[in-house]
Structures are given as C-alpha cells and as structure tokens.
Amino acid sequence: MKLLAVLVELPYPANHGARCDISRRLEAFQELGWDVHAITWTGGRLEAPIREADIARMNSVVADLELLKLDRGARRVLNMLRWPSQAAGRWPSRAERERLLQKYRSASPGFEAIWIDGIHAAPLGRWLADQLGVPYFYRSHNIEYRYNAEQASLATGLNKLSVMGNLAGLKRLETSVLRDAALFYDISFEDLATWRAAGFDNGRLLSTMADREMLDLAKRGTDRLVPSDIAFTGSLSLPNNVAALEWYLSQVHPNVIAKRPQTTLVVAGRNPSSDLSCRVTAAGGELIANPEHMEPILLGCEVAINPILHGSGVNVKMIDMLASGRRVVSTLIGTRGLPPEIVELLAIADDADGMAQAIVTSLAEPEAEAARDRRIATVSRHFGLEGFRRSLAEAETIVAPAS
C-alpha cells in the first residue's frame, strides 16, 4: 500500500508513549512492504532541538519526509476559533497547503490512503484525503476529549492554560474524525467499546507494538544496564504522570523504605521540572532526565512500577515493562485497555500500603527465569508483527478496488 502518514509529531527519539507507538508502527509498515511517505511537525514548546540523527532515523523508515514548523503565532490564535490549540498550530498556511497538494497529486503511482496518527494532525490529514480523493484511516490513542479534560484538571500554572486550550472544540473534532474515517484503529479495547456503544461501528482494535529491541535484549541479556531495585518511567511533563510520581514518592515509597531501607529507586522520563527533580532526590532516588533509551533502565531494575491514578487508552510503558521480563506493580487504572492475559502478569494495588507491600514482596522473593520468559513470550504474542498484520488486513481490502 502507498500511504501518506500525517503524524502528530516526529516520533524520534522515541522517548514517550505516543512516540513509541508511532515509531514502532512506521517500522512495522516498512516490514510489511508498505510505501509510506510522512508529514509531521517540530517546534513545540517543550520539545528539545531536533537532531540530525532523529531525522536520519525517520528517513530510514519512510520514503519521504515533510517536516513542518508548528505555528505559534497570530494565525494559530485565529484558527483556534475552528479547532483546539494544538490542531490549530498544525494547520499550514494556504501557500504551504497548496505546495503539499501539488507535490502529492503529482506522485506516481498515486497515494491509496491517508493515515492520520493523533487527533491534532487530523485537520490537515482530512483535507489531504478530500483533495486527493482517497480514504483515510485514523489512529486513536485515547478518548481525547476525556483524556485532555482530565489532564487539565491535574495541570497547574502555565501548563494548565496550555492544556485548557486543547479542550475547546475537541469533542466535536474527535467525533467527526471518527465518523468520517474509512476505519479508525483504537489502541484500547475498552475505549473501542465506548465508541461502539456510542454508535461508531467503523472502529477496530490495533494494539501498540512491543519494543522489539527490549524483547531481544531481555532474551539474550545485556551489560548495558542502569541497576536499581525500582524503576519508574514515563513522560515527566504530563500531569497524570507527575501526579502518579508525587503520590508514589509521598505515600508509597516511605513505606517501602521503612520495610526495606536499602531499596534503590530510579526515575526516568522526558522534561522533568526542577521541582520534581528535587522531590526525587529528596526521596533518595536517582532521576535520569530525557534518557536516549529506556531499555537499560527497565532491564536494570528488579521491579517496574506504574502508580498511575488517572488516564485512558493504554499505557505503552506497561507493555515495555513487561517486555523487559521484569516484575511489574501497577494500579488498576494502569491496566486499562490491556488484554486479560496481560493483566494476569501484573501485581495490582490501588492503595499506598498495598502497593508498598507488593513491591517489597516482589523484591524479597527470588524469581525463576521461567516466569520472566513467560512474560516476554506473552508480550511477543499479543504485541508482535503478526497480530499487527492481521489487524490491518481490512484496510488493505478497502483500498484494493482503487489500486
């Protein structure tokens, strides 16, 4: 299939859940032999300067890349009358749209479909699908209007204003994108059930891909490790992750230390605030900001934790934690959207005492290698390439008559 993928952000470096989900899908498209051309954006407020290595990595998995600049000026403010702030910032100028359209209209052979990855990429993706006369498929990462409302309730200061700007018109945009898609592919079977109950029968489940490098290293071993007893990973600029870590540090970790004083903690993630960094240090933990790779951190720990209290969709990091073969302790909400066979591999606790005890128990009990192998094998089966191929077979039949 020749596909034009409109991606909400450049997925390299793959240092948080959405980027991991997008980058692994692009790599899977490549393995399936799909001819993928991509449009994405850079220049976000919290984004690190783009590196040549990241562009080179992107170019290694797509046939062509258009890297657009996020609009952060007056035109974005005007477009917020039509769309949420992040979508408004991704709407190119008329001249830019016409340039893109001329480029893609002249492509031979022509594009068979548009793939929209992320709700804020949808206005441009839908416009291109309409102009090129091809269907579009949409990747749903969350029930976005609910997820963003929850993030706004947790955010503080300027971050709260930023998140609030993404709420205006978001539900209207999201429901229209789902309605008009040839198919939408949801990351979570629970979110998919919610949409189907609301009358959207064009949704299908498309699980995220496991980190194949993590699976490989977990199977054969590696010396490239960051040793710890406990590891917390995740984007440290997202309000729900910050709330989860603060709850763990204040309510859970003191109980762990009281029961097992020698316990070590590593926290790793993107863009932590200086205040959060100080809290980790004060709790006796080590903070690794903006790690290039999560594999050494997860493979180096004994227990990976996900004390998340708010969220939707699927926590991609849960799959990576299990792919490492390590034991995982999570709140119940951290299991949201995961298949029952995956949930069975987790220790689940929703209160501070229960989570502390689950962690200490896991650290106290030696684990047979067979248990780690089972986790790795189960993740491979549920989140591997063959399942991905089967999930997309229907999309191929939709575009087949036009090809």
Rounded CA-CA distance 201/115 in Å is 19
Residue 301 confidence class, pLDDT cut points 50, 70, 90: very high
47 pLDDT exceeds 90? no
The pLDDT tens digits of the residues spanning 180-203 come to: 999 999 998 889 999 999 999 999
The pLDDT tens digits of the residues spanning 205-223 come to: 999 999 888 998 988 888 8
Residue 46 confidence class, pLDDT cut points 50, 70, 90: low
CB neighbour list of residue 49: distance below 8 Å, 6 or more residues apart: none
Rounded CA-CA distance 77/339 in Å is 41
Produce one character per residue of 7-29: b if its CB has 16 or more CB atoms within 10 Å, e if not. Answer: bbbbbbbbbbbbbbbbbbbbbbb
Cβ–Cβ under 8 Å, residues 147 and 312: yes
pTM of the predicted model as reported, rounded to 2 decimal places:
0.85
Q: Quick one: pLDDT at residue 292?
A: 83
The pLDDT tens digits of the residues spanning 109-154 come to: 999 999 999 999 999 999 999 999 999 999 999 888 887 787 777 7
Q: What percent of the chain has pLDDT over 70?
A: 97
Map out the domains of the chain with their CATH numbers. 2-209+384-402 (3.40.50.2000), 212-382 (3.40.50.2000)
Rounded CA-CA distance 168/170 in Å is 6
Q: Quick one: pLDDT at residue 325?
A: 92
Instruction: Report the largest interatomic distance among the alpha carbons of the chain, rounded to a whole angstrom.
Output: 67
Rounded CA-CA distance 33/367 in Å is 40
| 161 burial type by CB count under 10 A (0-12 exposed, 13-18 middle, 19+ buried) | exposed
238 pLDDT exceeds 90? no
Query: Once rounded to an integer, what is the mean pLDDT over residues 378-391?
Result: 90
**Angle CA 378–12–303, to nearest 5:** 40
Cβ–Cβ under 8 Å, residues 86 and 94: no
DSSP β-ladder status, 203-205 and 228-233 = unpaired
Residue 401 confidence class, pLDDT cut points 50, 70, 90: low
Residue 387 confidence class, pLDDT cut points 50, 70, 90: confident
159 pLDDT exceeds 80? no
Residue 367 confidence class, pLDDT cut points 50, 70, 90: confident
Q: Quick one: pLDDT at residue 147?
A: 77
Q: Quick one: pLDDT at residue 48?
A: 67
pLDDT, averaged across the chain:
91
Q: Quick one: pLDDT at residue 45?
A: 62
Query: Once rounded to an integer, what is the mean pLDDT over residues 245-268?
Result: 97
Beta bridge partners of 7: 117
Query: Once rounded to an integer, what is the mean pLDDT over residues 328-357?
Result: 93
Residue 289 confidence class, pLDDT cut points 50, 70, 90: very high
What is the identity of the amino acid at 235? S
Q: Quick one: pLDDT at residue 37?
A: 98
Q: Quick one: pLDDT at residue 352?
A: 96
Phi, psi of 64 (to 5 degrees): -155, 145
